[in-house]
Structure 1
């Protein structure tokens, strides 16, 4: 019996149901199987929310939110700390379940749970921070600027890192007095929804404050357009992000979009090529490249291109690919056949356009070999589009100015990195890049739970979540003035 056959995934209470008002309810939108990418085994059934399901859940969240906002900051903080403890108590179970459902390796599942614990702990500190400021005013009047909760926050999360990318919005939104309606990707309902429902229920979160409704576009549109939901936090593709941004703008909602775009990793000629190859391989291939921060483009000085390419081809040839939950591979399967087909077409189209396939480019089942393309240029699909698969695009440059120009030949991105021994030069290059996050002598896949996370253009809408950004994102300003007595007026 392998690891994939030993762990039942979907709890009986949650199977084919939605989490609404603290109970698992039968949806009106039907159900569908949740398949393990590595084996094709059915892990359980996911309940699919309809628009009516979503509208009812929003109403119950709105009803619960006022009492929660009036709860003392210490009591809200305590719930978040207990949720972190509940995650820790089932650390190994949750980590293996995430690996199975997402197609990741076990260390990837462990990383998700570790980060979720820290995100809850960080969120627990938010209610205990100053919630506003005293403003200058005329004598006899107190003028205050307060941070107050939005009310109900809608969270739409993706399949690739479903626990992290859901809880990074759920935890701070709850901590600051909001209710949350969460719509996880129906391909990963356990990692992206059931785990959070379980741990917050164990932590004593009152019923109705966290509603978990997996669903398709119908449910998502109902959440985005409902006037009782003044804020939407979305993580996903630029195409869907544009649609959500349009709908949210039409309904005058605050929206936080974390999307994708081009992430550039620049390797200078003075880099340690062995270390650089290891960094590139991790940044491009970790979790099969299905990461919004993945090192999509690797811009390499022409003098070290061949040396770096040889090292990457060696790694691509020898890294094992298979069932991530087995503990014996470096890369697992892609999430489903649709994603694999899209990625394979992108690779083939780029080769037809003149790039050279140096390694990979083949797959078995949903397991795609780590792939290296050289001679990639602007106008080729893998240069212009986010691959979201295990791909190193090698792009050659001669000068620092050319590297900056190539990197900024995009509509924006989340993360950028520069590798080189001359740190001042690397930083000078990095500061010219159009990215929300910059790393010198590292790869692009970085997140510490306490940092602002976001990017311009296709990276999102320029806003950021995480760390110091959360107080701004999940509350709004309210101006309050107080006078000892009503003054006279000339009317």
Structure 2
């Protein structure tokens, strides 16, 4: 199908509906609100737990047809989906900007990342699916990777396109069917967009279901006997509940959770570059990224000069409606999240921290904020903010930097800025983290790279590259011989 002649996202397609291979009426309807304006953007159908159970049965049946298709035909589905996404780039950017509050360059980044994920998924179809093993006698012995069957994916609101498709595409590529429950605040770019891409690209009906809904629908997906694996991305608190529930049902579960990420600025760092790294890592997408820089650990000898540069950047960033394409920060996703951000700032100030920039909001637009005199035990140090707030913490020497870097239950991403790569790497080796960036900030993700955190940032699961095989398949040992052996009884 020619992606240039297709209207990819037509609100009439999903009014009051969800996707189970067809567009069907939901048990109820829900409005999606544009965070920058507070106005309704569109209306979607909410699935019920009963409808989620029916989707699980349907996906279980459709999965067998999908795996029986020739592998090159399956690979073509992903390539066509990528072509459709690229051909409709402008339309998708507008939806991401309006639904999520992202600035246009960040929306473009999501499209590029999603396209890479789709092409990587296509490539998986021609990769090795197993290994030959040594065996005594005249028999063949090998291990092959088989799909789980049906994979349930629960994705968040903040970067919905990438965080949904990075699970859905490799799960499908390895032969699974998928139930995708996007965050209902971003059900279009985190769910229905993906449904449309695969619908138009020729994915067999029933292999992908998109089920917007509340916590009851998420629980239905996690507990259904037809669903063999759960991939969850979201807050640490919600992830603990999902992990507990999936484990009670003896299901594989991979959890990609929150972070309180550190950027360490050593005393030999280029402070202009370090301040740029901090501002980008902390304020990109209003800080609503699991990898966002939350704490800047700065050597006390350069802390004052660095902080001045950071404050100047914070005060010069423009905040407003990203649809105008003339701002660097858009809105926080909703009032509840905005109020949580502000409560952490206010609590930190009452605990002795100092406000150097920001700390104010207009509707959902929160100013880029800098806090100083932050120490362990304050809200700004301990809590994941998920908003545009950077906390500056000073240290005396490398050992104290390591101590402060380790003073967290999280372990997702760490950046270190120094002219000495050896010194920076030595520090990084002493701080457990899923991602380590020398002379860069903490936000970075590429579709072919295994991605995941440690501790409260996740259970060690990984998305991307070869790790997708580990997540979305299971091993089966196979032996083959012409004549059965003769046993003594």
Task: Tell me the residue number matched to 1:434.
Answer: 432
Cα contact 1:284–1:392 (8 A) shared by 2: yes
Q: Does residue 1:60 correspond to 2:58, yes or no?
A: yes
Alpha-carbon distance, 1:432 to partner: 1.2
Deviation by residue 1:7-30 (Cα, 9 ceiling, x = unmatched): 99762011221101x2111111x1
Say how many residue pairs are matched: 483
Match for 1:247 among 222, 231, 245?
Answer: 245
Cα contact 2:8–2:197 (8 A) shared by 1: no
Task: Tell me the residue number matched to 2:24.
Answer: 25
Alpha-carbon distance, 1:46 to partner: 2.2
Which segments of 5 or more consecutive residues in structure 1 lack a partner in the other structure? Answer: 1-6
Alpha-carbon distance, 1:413 to partner: 2.0
Match for 2:305 among 307, 312, 315?
Answer: 307
Alpha-carbon distance, 1:72 to partner: 1.9
Cα contact 1:19–1:212 (8 A) shared by 2: yes
The 5-angstrom pairing of residues 30-109 of structure 1 reads: 30-109=28-107
Cα contact 1:296–1:391 (8 A) shared by 2: yes
In 1, Cα distance between equivalents of 2:18 and 2:52: 10
Task: Tell me the residue number matched to 2:149.
Answer: 151
Q: 1:258 to 1:382 in 2, by over 3 A?
A: same
Task: Tell me the residue number matched to 1:132.
Answer: 130
The 5-angstrom pairing of residues 152-231 of structure 1 reads: 152-231=150-229
The 5-angstrom pairing of residues 318-357 of structure 1 reads: 318-357=316-355
RMSD: 1.2
Match for 2:466 among 464, 468, 472?
Answer: 468
Q: Does residue 1:401 correspond to 2:405, yes or no?
A: no
In 2, Cα distance between equivalents of 1:8 and 1:376: 48
In 1, Cα distance between equivalents of 2:445 and 2:8: 31
Deviation by residue 1:369-403 (Cα, 9 ceiling, x = unmatched): 00000011111112111110001110100110100
* SS, match of residue 474 in structure 2: strand
Which segments of 5 or more consecutive residues in structure 2 lack a partner in the other structure? Answer: 1-6
In 1, Cα distance between equivalents of 2:226 and 2:168: 17
In 2, Cα distance between equivalents of 1:241 and 1:469: 20
Deviation by residue 1:55-106 (Cα, 9 ceiling, x = unmatched): 0111111110011112222111111111100101101110121011001101
In 2, Cα distance between equivalents of 1:285 and 1:464: 25
User: Deviation above 2 Å: which 4+ runs of structure 1?
Assistant: 7-10
* SS, match of residue 459 in structure 1: coil
Cα contact 1:9–1:44 (8 A) shared by 2: no
Match for 2:457 among 456, 459, 482?
Answer: 459
Question: After the TM superposition, which of the residue ranges 447-456 and 281-290 deviates more from structure 2?
Answer: 447-456
Q: Return the TM-score normalized by structure 2.
A: 0.97
* SS, match of residue 329 in structure 1: coil
